């Protein structure tokens, strides 16, 4: 067992324990390492000013991803290489992205700039030399970086002016040999170690096996399970809510799996949204498209699908999808394994039907069957990088324009995501016509009683619920044939 975290920052090795391990990385960088290029603004993962690159070993190669360092805590950093704005210059010269930002007025006040450059570095790091940067992709990459000065125009021009062949891959900038000791040798050759770190108020446990995790959870029933931490750490930063015990499952091999078996996609609890994007691209193009609006890359790179399920927000973006698909949530506790249909999981606002010793280990999603179509909708104040005001999921089975089966779920209209059973019953068996969906809209009013909050009024949510049925009807009329065509690999890249 180890009682410290070991990692690299810009090529230098650090071991950290006690209080420092319980700090947000942004704070550790600024206060302990005096690397003040990383800016702290919102401290809730919503502005990207603190974006750093986090390198982790993946089959011998280190992959770097942009992450928000304000909601990434030091204890999550074991066996990583952190790159900050101070670490991505080319020895004494500016790198091509920096040069282009200087030349094309991609910076004004400079406060968002380090985060923007780190995100762009990651974008170019993943481009092959033959590719050219594309505006759409640049925008997608920078979804999580807010800028209040430039209107983004200069940033986009800067990015498009960079030649990928001029950008050194990070692994060339930091030859892996220099990090070998920790990052490669230890990870690849040695058995995973259990880590346990404590300070005055908190205890962090990183078990080395699922079995150990279950034992710890049984011992500490109040313990919080941590995978990405994108919710837990916002609460810690903003509301000073700090779990006494944290069990980190993010590196458990047993939970890092994605596979397809017997017409089910199985996604482990430690699989990040970004890691699961590809499989959804192949089997659920509709959900893959939704993932574009789901969150910023910085969040998707660390947040997990199971985390979204466990957080149980009434506006959780994946939940309507999983509910119409009748996905199963896999759970392990001291009494063994069980599977729960996600439609039976939620019992109230942020309340799950789990016992205190149980851990969600994964989710099992049935594939679409013949003649089944899936449609997903998300409505938010800002299209990208926003929490939903309202969400909807439909699964329909049409044969000769007769609705053989119909599954319909709404988010944002109740304390938790709910299935519209009355509407489902009304629609099933009918012919798919405008009238049916307009009439269904009238039933919906009886079935939901949304609240008014900062994101939208009750009336708005009721309007949306009615309209989404009409929109769905229109969409299936237009797109029924191609809606579930799998995306090609190129589209997914």
41 is a contact residue toward another protein (CB under 8 A): yes
Binding flag, residue 474, another protein (CB under 8 A):
yes
Q: Are 368 and 436 in contact (CB under 8 A)?
A: no
Interacting span for another protein (CB under 8 A) from 190-198, 277-285, 382-390, 415-423: 382-390
**Which of 9, 53, 83, 117 lies at the binding interface for another protein (CB under 8 A)?**
117
The conformation of residue 95, written as its DSSP 8-state character, comes to P
Residues in the chain: 493
Torsion region of 283: left, alpha or beta (phi above 0 gives left; psi -120 to 50 gives alpha): alpha
CB 245 within 8 A of CB 222: yes
Residues in region 426-455 near another protein by CB under 8 A: 434, 437-438, 454-455
Looking at residue 24, the DSSP 8-state letter turns out to be B
What is the rounded CA–CA span in Å between residue 305 and residue 9? 28
486 part of the interface to another protein, by CB under 8 A: no
Residue 238 binding another protein, by CB under 8 A: yes
Does 464 interact with another protein (rule: CB under 8 A)? yes
Return the residue of 18, 60, 131, 151 that touches another protein, per CB under 8 A.
Answer: 151
**According to the binding rule CB under 8 A, does residue 391 interact with another protein?**
no
**Angle, helices 285-294/273-283, rounded to nearest 10 degrees:** 150
> End-to-end distance of the chain based on CA atoms, in angstroms?
40
Cβ-in-10-Å burial (0-12, 13-18, 19+) of 460 comes to middle
Question: Using CA atoms, how far apart are residues 404 and 152, in angstroms rounded to an integer?
Answer: 48
44 touches another protein by CB under 8 A: yes
Interface size with another protein, residues (CB under 8 A):
80
CB of 94 or CB of 187, closer to another protein: 94
CA 21/CA 16 separation, integer angstroms? 6
Query: Taking CB under 8 A as the rule, does residue 163 contact another protein?
Result: no
Q: How far is the CB of 103 from another protein (least distance, A)?
A: 6
CB of 168 to another protein, least distance (A): 16
Which of 20, 26, 104, 407 binds another protein (CB under 8 A)? It is: 104
Q: Could you tell me which stretch among 8-16, 29-37, 304-312, 395-403 binds another protein (CB under 8 A)? A: 29-37
Which is closer to another protein, CB of 57 or CB of 118?
Answer: 118
Binding marks (x or -) toward another protein, 206..235, rule CB under 8 A? ------------------------------
Determine if 34 is a binding residue for another protein (CB under 8 A): yes
For residue 44, what are the contacts with CB-CB under 8 A and spacing of at least 6? 70, 71, 234, 237, 238
Rule CB under 8 A: say whether 153 interacts with another protein. Answer: yes
Rank residues 60 and 110 by Cβ distance to another protein and give the closer one.
110
β-partners of residue 336 are 333
- Say how far residue 124 (Cα) sits from the centre of its chain: 21
Q: Are strands 336-341 and 245-248 parallel, antiparallel or unpaired?
A: unpaired
Closest CA to 258 of 249, 271, 239: 271
Q: Is 471 a residue that touches another protein (CB under 8 A)?
A: yes
8 A C-beta contact, residue 410 and residue 338: no
Measured from the CB atom, the residue of 22 and 75 that comes closer to another protein is: 22
Residue 117: CB minimum distance to another protein, A: 6
Q: Which residue from 235, 463, 484, 492 is in contact with another protein, where contact means CB under 8 A?
A: 463
Query: Could you say which residues in the range 62-91 bind another protein, by CB under 8 A?
Result: 84-86, 89
Which residues lie closer than 8 Å to 127 by C-beta, 6 or more apart?
A: 133, 164, 167
Q: Which of 186, 278, 282, 470 binds another protein (CB under 8 A)?
A: 470
Any contact of residue 473 with another protein (CB under 8 A)? Answer: yes
Q: Is 36 in the site for another protein (CB under 8 A)?
A: yes
């Amino acid at each position: 067992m180890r009682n410290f975290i070991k990692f690299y920052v810009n090529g230098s090795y650090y071991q950290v324990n006690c209080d420092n391990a319980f700090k947000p990385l942004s704070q550790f960088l600024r206060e302990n390492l005096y690397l003040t290029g990383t800016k702290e603004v919102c401290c809730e993962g919503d502005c990207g000013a603190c974006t750093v690159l986090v390198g982790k070993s993946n089959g011998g190669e280190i992959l770097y991803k942009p992450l928000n360092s304000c909601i990434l805590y030091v204890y999550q950093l074991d066996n990583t290489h952190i790159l900050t704005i101070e670490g991505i210059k080319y020895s004494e010269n500016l790198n091509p992205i920096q040069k282009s930002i200087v030349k094309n007025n991609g910076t004004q006040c400079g406060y968002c700039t380090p985060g923007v450059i780190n995100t762009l570095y990651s974008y170019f790091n993943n481009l092959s030399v033959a590719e050219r940067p594309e505006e759409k992709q640049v925008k997608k990459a920078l979804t999580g970086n807010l800028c209040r000065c430039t209107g983004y125009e200069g940033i986009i021009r800067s990015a498009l002016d960079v030649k990928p062949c001029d950008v050194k891959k990070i692994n060339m900038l930091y030859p892996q040999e220099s990090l070998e000791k920790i990052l490669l040798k230890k990870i690849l050759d040695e058995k995973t170690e259990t880590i346990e770190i404590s300070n005055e108020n908190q205890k962090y446990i990183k078990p080395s096996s699922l079995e150990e995790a279950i034992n710890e959870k049984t011992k500490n029933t109040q313990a919080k399970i941590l995978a990405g931490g994108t919710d837990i750490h916002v609460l810690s930063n903003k509301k000073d809510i700090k779990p006494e015990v944290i069990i980190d499952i993010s590196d458990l091999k047993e939970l890092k799996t994605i596979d397809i078996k017997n017409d089910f996609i199985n996604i482990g609890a430690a699989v990040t949204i970004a890691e699961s994007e590809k499989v959804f691209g192949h089997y659920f193009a509709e959900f893959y498209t939704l993932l574009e609006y789901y969150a910023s890359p910085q969040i998707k790179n660390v947040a997990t699908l199971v985390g979204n399920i466990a957080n149980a927000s009434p506006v959780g973006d994946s939940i309507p999808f999983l509910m119409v698909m009748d996905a199963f949530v896999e759970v392990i506790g001291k009494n063994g394994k069980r599977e729960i249909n996600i439609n039976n999981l939620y019992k109230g606002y942020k309340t799950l039907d789990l016992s205190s010793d149980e851990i969600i280990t994964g989710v099992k999603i049935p594939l679409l069957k013949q003649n089944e179509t899936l449609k997903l909708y998300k409505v938010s104040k800002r299209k990208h990088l926003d929490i939903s005001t309202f969400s909807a999921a439909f699964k329909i089975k049409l044969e000769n324009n007769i609705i053989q089966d119909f599954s319909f779920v709404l988010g944002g209209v109740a304390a938790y995501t709910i299935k519209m059973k009355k509407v489902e019953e009304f629609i099933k068996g009918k012919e798919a016509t405008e009238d049916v969906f307009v009439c269904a809209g009238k039933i919906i009013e009886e079935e939901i009683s949304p609240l008014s909050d900062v994101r939208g009024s009750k009336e708005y949510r009721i309007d949306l619920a009615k309209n989404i049925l009409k929109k769905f009807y229109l969409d299936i009329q237009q797109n029924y044939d191609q809606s579930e065509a799998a995306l090609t690999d190129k589209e997914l890249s």
